[in-house]
């Protein structure tokens, strides 16, 4: 009989990992308080959450909105990015990092990532900068902050807006300061899978009052501080968060630090267990990262050491052993159909739009590291990191078991 669960053997574990979201009495009480009040729309709870979340991230201003995607769009607009401007983004991220640029009629330009962090490579970013470049959006992938020292220096040198896509980094800190307001501004998502969630929702953080006021106007139908209710100064939209969402987030926020520290502790344990494990490569650590949120635990699967076993087959075997895991982003963004199609007309603008003088041919884009990690990346979700040390032992044991059974898995 096979030893591997994928072939009929006994799995390492049958017990489930923690479910998500985690809720408690505080969430219920705050939600019912708003529900019973009948004041469901954009008021005291929203303001309270904005203030508390900004303080949690060492930021001066917080502006909530409907979700993380529109938070990125608002951030770009608030930083003065517009039609025809180029914005450098990574290709190893969720679609919104690039689609937000397209939505404001600007042009995303892809720079490669660092293979040992999965984060945007500042050296490749600098190679992509030209006279049209107006902003860069580094993403703190899996909660690991990018090299903010390097990006702040780049932004200052080339007079670029620096917008942090912090949608994986609730609670992460760089040199003791929370992510989000280290650059000009940063955005977070509270979508259902996130480490703090209200089903949907987002927030923009900044230390700059002008950006905060402009962002507020864009999310609040173009109104401004001190203006009359029916006076609209910008082409804003209704992107506001509700009191019900804010009530849930206030409850979630009460346990976010504790959960963040637990994920960080369990990830450190996994690092210790797996650091000498053949066939996989862990992400690099940076002493300037003083806290890390871990939206997922990422490692690379090195296929050349696995006797022909594919990454996807390895992950299938890992799930069979009872360990939740996935391939994550399995293609770089520029290989999505949106960027690969060619044509004319509004559907293709600004990808192929005469308004900008020339079309962008994304079929010619190559970012070798992003393509490699898309083939080799393995994700363990943040929910697993809320378990106990014994559960981390099970994860390491399952990976080790599959390594020892790799000949069987390869069919040799």
Task: Give residue-wise pLDDT tens across range 359-393.
Answer: 678 889 999 999 999 999 999 999 999 999 999 99
240 part of the active site: yes
Nearest Cα residue to 379 out of 299, 261, 273: 299
> Would you call the peptide bond into 252 cis, given omega within 30 degrees of 0 as the criterion?
no
CA distance linking residue 117 with residue 31, whole number of Å:
38
Residue tagged active-site, from 230, 347, 355, 358? 230
Catalytic residue among 94, 190, 301, 339: 94
Query: Where does 25-252 sit in CATH, by number?
Result: 3.40.640.10
Q: Annotated catalytic, 288?
A: no
Active-site residue, 165 included? yes
What b/e sequence results for 35-72 when a residue is b if at least 16 CB atoms lie within 10 Å of its CB, and e otherwise? eeeeeeebeebbebbbeebbebbbbebbbbbbbbbbbb
Q: Which of 27, 121, 165, 394 is catalytic?
A: 165
Show me where the domains of the chain are located.
25-252
Per annotation, catalytic residue among 61, 223, 292, 311:
223
Is 390 considered catalytic here? no
Q: How confident is the model at residue 1 (pLDDT cuts 50, 70, 90)?
A: very low
Is residue 193 within 8 Å of 210, Cβ to Cβ? no
Find the catalytic residue in 57, 61, 194, 300. 194
pLDDT per position as a tens digit, 53-84: 999 999 999 999 999 999 999 999 999 999 88
Instruction: Give this prediction's pTM.
Output: 0.95
Whether residue 233 lies in the annotated active site: no
Q: What's the pLDDT tens digit per position in 238-277?
A: 999 999 999 999 999 999 999 999 999 999 999 999 999 9
Between CA 303 and CA 317 the distance in angstroms is: 14
94 is catalytic: yes
Catalytic residue among 39, 52, 152, 240: 240
Catalytic entry in 124, 191, 271, 348: 191
Q: In what order do the strands lie in the sheet with 280-282?
A: 280-282, 296-301, 377-381
- Measured in whole angstroms, the distance separating CA 58 from the mean position of its chain's CA atoms is 19
């Amino acid at each position: 009989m096979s030893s591997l669960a994928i072939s009929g053997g006994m799995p390492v574990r049958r017990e489930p990992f923690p479910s998500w979201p985690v809720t408690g009495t505080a969430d219920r009480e705050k939600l019912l308080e708003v529900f019973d009040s009948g004041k469901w729309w954009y008021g005291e709870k929203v303001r309270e959450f904005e203030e508390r979340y900004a303080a949690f991230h060492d930021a001066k201003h917080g502006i909530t909105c409907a979700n993380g995607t529109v938070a990125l769009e608002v951030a770009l607009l608030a930083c003065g990015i517009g039609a025809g401007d180029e914005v450098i983004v990574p290709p190893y991220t969720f679609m919104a990092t690039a689609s937000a640029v397209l939505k404001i009629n600007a042009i995303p330009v892809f720079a490669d990532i660092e293979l040992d962090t999965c984060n945007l490579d500042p050296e490749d970013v600098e190679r992509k900068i030209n006279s049209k470049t107006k902003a860069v959006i580094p993403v703190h992938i899996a909660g690991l902050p990018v090299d903010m020292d390097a990006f702040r220096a780049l932004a200052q040198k080339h007079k670029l807006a620096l917008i942090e896509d912090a949608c994986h980094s609730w609670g992460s800190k760089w040199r003791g300061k929370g992510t989000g307001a280290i650059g000009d501004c940063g955005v977070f998502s509270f979508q259902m899978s996130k480490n703090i969630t209200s089903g949907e929702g987002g927030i923009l953080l900044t230390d700059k009052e002008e950006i905060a006021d402009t962002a507020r106007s864009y999310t609040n139908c173009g109104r401004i501080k001190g203006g009359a209710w029916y006076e609209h100064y910008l082409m804003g939209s209704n992107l506001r968060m509700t009191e019900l969402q804010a009530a849930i987030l206030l409850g979630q926020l009460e346990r976010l630090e504790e959960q963040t520290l637990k994920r960080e502790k369990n990830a450190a344990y996994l690092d210790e267990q797996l650091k000498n494990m053949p066939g996989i490569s862990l992400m690099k650590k940076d002493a300037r990262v003083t806290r890390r949120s871990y939206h997922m635990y990422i490692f690379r699967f090195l296929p050349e050491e696995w006797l022909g076993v594919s990454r996807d087959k390895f992950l299938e075997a890992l799930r069979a052993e009872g360990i939740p895991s996935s391939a994550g982003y399995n293609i770089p963004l520029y290989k999505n159909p949106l960027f690969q199609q060619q044509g004319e007309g509004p559907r293709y603008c600004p990808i192929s739009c005469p308004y900008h003088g020339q079309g962008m041919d994304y079929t010619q884009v190559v970012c070798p590291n992003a393509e490699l990690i898309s083939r080799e990346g393995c994700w363990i979700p943040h929910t697993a990191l809320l378990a106990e040390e014994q559960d981390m032992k099970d994860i390491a044991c399952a990976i080790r078991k599959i390594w020892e059974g790799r000949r069987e898995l390869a069919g040799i």
